[in-house]
Amino acid sequence: MKINIIKIIFLNLFFLSSLFANFEQDITKLQTNSLKTKQKVVVDLVEKYSEDDRTNLLLTKMKDGDLYYIKSSKKFVILEKKEGKIFHTKNFLTGEKVKPKSRRDFSKVKTNNKLRSIIKSKLAQMNLFSKKQEKRLISAKNILKNLDKELEPLVQKALLKEKDDDVKKLLEEANTILKAKYSSGEEQLTAVKELGDYLSNQTMIALKEIINNENNSKELIKTAKSSLGSVETIRSYYAVVEKAFFGLSMGSVLLLAAIGLAITFGVMKVINMAHGEMMMIGAYTTYTLQQVMPNLIEYSIIVAIPAAFIVSGIVGIIIERLVIRHLYGRPLETLLATFGISLILQQIVRTIYSPLNQEVKTPQWMSGALEINSALSLTYNRLYIIIFAVLVFFGILMVLNKTSLGLKVRAVTQNRQMAQAMGIKTSWIDAMTFGIGSGIAGIAGVALSQLTNVGPNLGQAYIVDSFMVVVFGGVGNLWGTLIGALTLGEINKFIEPVAGAVLAKVIILVFIILFIQKRPRGLFPQKGRDAQD
């Protein structure tokens, strides 16, 4: 019995070692310059080693242009990074780091468009019958993007075995497109009709090819036109939803930017032109944290939120104590002083970080998109920013309505002299209010860092929009700020594709001017005796 077990183990080890040797020997054929030979090698590798993870890795790196071999030893390596003419690589078979070498010591496994297309197709085939749903889903998407008549038996075979609804829908669409393009008679006509229920770009391309093919019958072309019209109509509805989503995300950023301005403007009557720089400071705080904790990118954004609030808030309080408190009641001088402060802050950032834009990495959990269907997907970063903006808004609302500080802030907003007479330290309230407003602007900078690169001029792009939101909604009214931000965000996104980015801004500005002529105090006017000032 023991001898039999030893024999089985020995035979398995022998089989594995021979398989490894055969794989290593077969892939050496990729070192040829002949693209036709490489195509044959790729096909053979998939047929012989489809269950081997190394095949997937090899073809993926080859497709991406990262597969090389060392000229002297003929060993395959994967390119990890370049430093000038020095290549940092690792051994393909063992995964061990290879000593950095000059570019001249390597030879690339070259590909062309046709070979890359074949590799994509073969990778899709390999993963289509995987036990993991994620791999099958990715494979089905790749097949849909690279449809070929030869794939029809494979798609139909996968359809019979597939149980997951998402993967099955993609395979059904791929199968329907293949029938519409390559079958004939009643089957082709039925497939073209069914394509009217799908919304992907591949379906639209297939229908347009059928319409533009003069050899097709008039009935088939007419049916294809009908299906295409149906697809375009449904996609147009989803396009409106997508625009509304982008408008909502832009409105959320404007809301975060304008909340702090609404508070400081409402309480202190200060036109703070350095408010945009508080957003910039928040964005750079996020960037700095990622540099300090490079291995914790997934958590850096969460840590950056309180950090940006504290840093921007402290800077705001310092500005208020050193400059602004000496200029109360002198709006023009305050405007000029804060404009000067904004220039100083920008120059400080340029000195510390350089004038170049910096990239803030997006955590994995904020990457990608929520795919509703083939015509509509909502990016996670914008979705999280919308949720975050709502949470911040209601958080500030709770602070102002349910805390002692909020009560004092509201008292100073409505009647400063009376609040002072009641024993409220208005100078302390002013400092705290300015700090809170600056801190919220810093949080807005954290959100902005996920949508655009961080640079010294980041805040300047939003300061005018923030003032428009505050004036439109009503000075010092948070609900007005919310409605104003979302309204302007939606208007901008719907006008921008038609009029262009610059003209859209002009149209919104004209709209605000005309609106203020009718309602000088905005949508929700401030209440109290101090509102008359």
Query: Mind listing the pLDDT tens digit for each residue in 491-522?
Result: 888 888 777 777 777 787 788 778 777 776 76
| Chain mean pLDDT for the chain | 81
Of the residues 114, 137, 171, which one is the last residue of a structural domain? 114
Residues 263 and 399 in one domain: yes
Whether 105 is covered by a domain: the verdict is: yes
Residues 6 or more apart whose CB falls under 8 angstroms from that of 375 comprise: 199, 200, 234, 235, 238, 239
Residues 312 and 431 in one domain: yes
pLDDT at 5: 54
Residues 392 and 291 in one domain: yes
Q: What pairs with residue 107 in β-bridges? A: 69
User: Residue 79 burial (CB < 10 Å; 0-12/13-18/19+)?
Assistant: middle
Residues 142 and 102 in one domain: no
Q: Which domain holds residue 92?
A: 2-114
Residues 6 or more apart whose CB falls under 8 angstroms from that of 217 comprise: none
What is the spatial distance between Cα 242 and Cα 79, in angstroms, rounded to a whole number?
A: 38
Whether 475 is covered by a domain: the verdict is: no
Backbone angles phi, psi at 61, to 5 degrees: -65, -35
Domain count, the chain: 3
What is the spatial distance between Cα 387 and Cα 378, in angstroms, rounded to a whole number?
A: 13
Whether 516 is covered by a domain: the verdict is: no
329-343: pLDDT as tens digits: 777 788 888 889 889
Tell me the pairing of strands 369-373 and 76-83. Answer: unpaired
Distance between alpha carbon 147 and the CA centroid of its chain, in Å? Answer: 28
Of the residues 432, 462, 492, which one is the last residue of a structural domain? 462
Other C-beta atoms within 10 Å of 160: how many? 7
Task: Over range 261-288, report the average pLDDT.
Answer: 83
Whether 491 is covered by a domain: the verdict is: no
Tell me the pairing of strands 76-83 and 86-91. Answer: antiparallel
Residues 104 and 134 in one domain: no
Look-up: residue for tokens 């200060």?
270
Residues 97 and 152 in one domain: no
Residues 101 and 161 in one domain: no
Of 251, 269, 413, 264, residue with least CA distance to 328? 269
Whether 254 is covered by a domain: the verdict is: yes
Residues 108 and 141 in one domain: no
pLDDT bracket for residue 96 (50, 70, 90): confident
pLDDT at 285: 92
Residues 6 or more apart whose CB falls under 8 angstroms from that of 411 comprise: 418, 419, 422, 424
211-256: pLDDT as tens digits: 887 788 888 888 888 988 888 888 888 888 988 998 898 888 888 8
Look-up: residue for tokens 């909340």?
259
The 3-state secondary structure of 439-487, one letter per residue: HHHHHHHHHHCCCCCECCCCCHHHHHHHHHHHHHHCCCCHHHHHHHHHH
